[in-house]
Amino acid sequence: MTDRRQFLQAGVLAAGALALPRVGARAASGARVVSTWDFGVGANQAAWKVLAGGGSALDAVEAGARWAESELCNPTVGRCGNPDRDGVLSLDASIMDGDGRCGSVAALTDILHPVSVARKVMENTPHVMLVGEGAQQFAVAQGFERQKLLTPAAEKAWREWLKTAQYTPEINVERRGRPGDSSNHDTLGMLAIDANGRLAGACTTSGMAWKLHGRVGDSPIIGAGLYVDNEVGGATASG
């Protein structure tokens, strides 16, 4: 039977995974951060400020994901994300450290920083995942402000989509030969190792455009969108 170590070592070699060096005294010689897609550069810079100041990998990936959620105007991440077929922008996020602590939120509405809510789930509850209205109620109770996130551009795109409102499942879209620009990508996934050799990771996304209301992808699911283990490494999957 495959044990946890063998499973994770195989997983980081899978397509779409990002692997970091094996953690230990030799691997902890310097901090590093990586993220998915070219639009993750700004997120890397935000995370690196934390690492360069001696901060933890967990704080770094949260800072990087927060940058993407608020500063990056991309139709698949954060406040500029495209809504679901009902015109509602819902966000998913997860966060995990190398000790196995983790938290996530899904189908979260009207909250700017789902990754920070996910961290609150990890640190302040006995749960791993909160979704929908319950996630929003928890966020407000934790001091997060409700705000309208749908941008005029995203609303305009949604109204254009409504003219045809064609919704069909797309399987293996990568085989259609479309160029791999940012409009064809979703999710920001981040992994970091700090100066103490500790790992952390985060994922944040607005999910598929025009998705059915309530749809949840892999990003907020620990073991699917993200997994981190100080004894082995970390991996994040991104669409």
3-state secondary structure of 177: coil
Asked if residue 8 lies in contact with residue 229, where contact means CB atoms within 8 angstroms, the answer is: yes
Q: How many CB atoms lie within 10 A of CB 85?
A: 17
CA 39, 69, 11, 123: dihedral to nearest 10 degrees? 150
Q: Is 205 a catalytic residue?
A: no
C-alpha angle 94-158-107 in degrees, rounded to nearest 5: 25
Provide CB contacts within 8 A for 68, sequence distance 6+: 39, 40, 42, 43, 74, 77, 78, 188, 204
Provide CB contacts within 8 A for 145, sequence distance 6+: 111, 112
Which residue type, as a one-letter code, is found at position 58? Answer: L
Q: Of 236, 237, 234, nearest to 22 (Cα)?
A: 234
- Alpha-helical segments (H) within the chain: 4-11, 41-52, 57-70, 114-124, 132-141, 152-162
Catalytic entry in 36, 76, 109, 187 = 187
Phi-psi group of 153: left, alpha or beta (phi > 0 → left; psi -120 to 50 → alpha; rest → beta): alpha
Q: Which token pair is 21?
A: 């060096």
Just list the catalytic residues: 187
